[in-house]
Amino acid sequence: MVVGGGFGGLQVVRKLRRAAVDVTLVDRQNFHLFQPLVYQVATGALAAAEVAAPLRAVLKRQANVRVMLAEVTGFDLERQQVVLDHLPNGGSGKTLGYDMLVVAGGSRYSYFGHDDWRERAPELKSLAGALDIRNRILTAFEAAEVESDDELRRSWLTFVVVGGGPTGVEMAGQIAELARETLRRDFRGVDTRGTRVLLVETADRILTAFPPLLSHRAERALEKLGVTPLVGHTVVDIGPVSVAIRSADGELENVAARTVIWAAGVAASPLASALASADGSQVDRAGRLTVTADLTLPDRPEVFAIGDMVRVAQSDGTIAALPGLAPVAMQEGRYVARVIRDRLRGRATEPFRYVDKGNLATIGRSKAVADVKGIRISGFPAWVTWLVVHLFYLIGFQNRVLVVTRWAFSFVTRGRGARLITDTGAQAD
Ligand SMILES: Cc1cc2nc3c(=O)[nH]c(=O)nc-3n(C[C@H](O)[C@H](O)[C@H](O)COP(=O)(O)OP(=O)(O)OC[C@H]3O[C@@H](n4cnc5c(N)ncnc54)[C@H](O)[C@@H]3O)c2cc1C
């Protein structure tokens, strides 16, 4: 049984297509989400269906797989069973047995103990979150258009993105491009080019996973787009109409802003702690479970855990907290499928080893940074690399064609075809 049809889980399932096993894939959503492009849904550049692929469609030709829509809420490792809730027929508490279990539940955003901020500052982890953000961003421009008070209008045109990692950088860059290029001729009462986009990062630079040179280039590229990177600054409160931001020297500023987007702090899926408590082990501060070098739980060779929700103990006893990236989850997924195939043939498998192929982040049109095996590039070549890599890994031929077509149109026209507000709060007929 595989829990989670994301980057890790789907690789396990696909790489078992020729193995003599029956696979049950359980996911609480009926689609695989290509998270790296979700921010483009949030800013109207792509439609939701273009970054997601229904799991049943992805796996329809793989006869040894059964897909189940349900939420896994617990594990009985002694009886080799998982507990399923929120079944589509309304059922809950159903148990399902397994011979081998792979758990790949991913991660979610952590609000550093301020869960009350979640409502004001939505995050991009899910498709629903992205559509919520899209509604809020587009509604803010509409609100500015009908607002006669200058100060209030400014607050509608001020966007705060919390977290200067790749997602925060991408979001901030996209909002700035949306305001300055796509929308600038669409409104009559408001000049959207006056939009402020603040990117708040506690560390002393953005994109800390990249070498400092690329962080600084990315900062300059963002500034050119009209984003204000506030490095060394921390969001300390998020109220209904303002955000309190503290600088490194302790100065506090209350910024009037109606739209806040959360892209900071990641915590493992609760499935990691559910597995840990079923096994009597512990999770780390980010909620991650520690697995052995063959990605199984210690003394439970039949239970694998992979992806964002785990750290890997190396053969030499050190623990590797690999980055929360799709290639890590995919390589782990492929490795688990190999272990399972090897076991069926009575062969041993080498311990898991992550091959780091590099890091990419896009900032905006023709702007990106890439650190590929020590080669540092920025600007147009990095952006083309980013496009090719993302198209290559996007699931589904149809999605690739649709996305490349949309990107080509947007590149030429600077437009965004998916600028729909789907929740206006107005009464339906
Ligand atoms: C906005 C954003 C942008 C990103 N951009 C990049 C990028 O550009 N490059 C990159 O390499 N990485 C990027 N990442 C990180 C990358 O998406 C993750 O590292 C990767 O998805 C981890 O794979 P996974 O299999 O561990 O989890 P996921 O891909 O998140 O899959 C988890 C799956 O488990 C399912 N699930 C969770 N809980 C349950 C449950 N209780 N019951 C049933 N099913 C459950 C979920 O529905 C989901 O399908 C980004 C992440 C985000 C959020």
Name the fold adopted by 115-263: FAD/NAD(P)-binding domain (3.50.50)
Q: What pLDDT is stored for residue 416 in this prediction? A: 77
Ligand 1 atom having least distance to the Cα of 308 = 26
Q: Which pLDDT score is estimated for 429? A: 58
Q: Which of 309, 325, 331, 383 to mutate to test the pocket of ligand 1 (most atoms within 8 A of CB)?
A: 325
Mean pLDDT of the residues in the chain:
93
Residue pointed to by tokens 């896994």: 72
Residue 6 in contact with ligand 1 by CB distance below 6 A: yes
Average pLDDT over every residue of 33-50: 93
How many whole angstroms from 106 Cα to the centroid of ligand 1? 5
Distance 6 CA to ligand 1 centre (A): 6
Q: From ligand 1's centre to the CA of 283, what distance in Å?
A: 19
From the alpha carbon of 390, which atom of ligand 1 is closest? Answer: 8
Domain boundaries, the chain: 2-28+70-109+267-344, 115-263
Is the CB of residue 259 below 6 angstroms from any atom belonging to ligand 1?
no
pLDDT at 421 over 90: no
**DSSP class per residue in 215-281:** HHHHHHHHHHHTEEEEET-EEEEE-SSEEEEE-TTS-EEEEE-SEEEE---EEE-HHHHHHHHHHT-
Mean pLDDT of 9-20: 97
SS3 content of the chain, % helix, strand, coil (to 5): 35, 25, 40
Length of the chain equals: 429
Instruction: State yes or no: pLDDT of 315 exceeds 90.
Output: no
Active site residue 151: no
Cα torsion angle, 210, 214, 220, 226, sign = negative
Q: Is 327 in the pocket of ligand 1 (CB under 6 A)?
A: yes
**Catalytic choice (123, 170, 177, 181):** 170
* pLDDT digits 0-9 by tens, 342-395: 999 999 999 999 999 899 999 988 899 999 888 999 999 999 999 999 988 887
d(CA 227, CA 366): 16
Confidence class for position 215, pLDDT limits 50, 70, 90: very high
Gap from CA of 307 to ligand 1 centroid (Å) = 8
Structural contact between residues 134 and 33, judged by C-beta atoms closer than 8 angstroms: no
In short, whether 325's Cβ falls inside 6 Å of ligand 1 is yes
Residue 52: phi, psi to the nearest 5? -135, 150
Nearest to 154 by CA among 195, 183, 189, 120: 195
Q: Is 104 in the pocket of ligand 1 (CB under 6 A)?
A: yes
What pLDDT does residue 317 have?
82
pLDDT confidence of residue 424:
65
Q: By alpha-carbon position, which residue is closest to atom 44 of ligand 1? A: 27
Kindly indicate whether the domain formed by 2-28+70-109+267-344 is annotated with CATH number 3.40.1800.10: no
Q: How confident is the model at residue 397 (pLDDT cuts 50, 70, 90)?
A: confident
Q: Is 168 in the pocket of ligand 1 (CB under 6 A)?
A: no
Q: Would you say the CB of residue 29 lies under 6 angstroms from ligand 1?
A: yes
Identical fold at 2-28+70-109+267-344 and 115-263?
Answer: yes
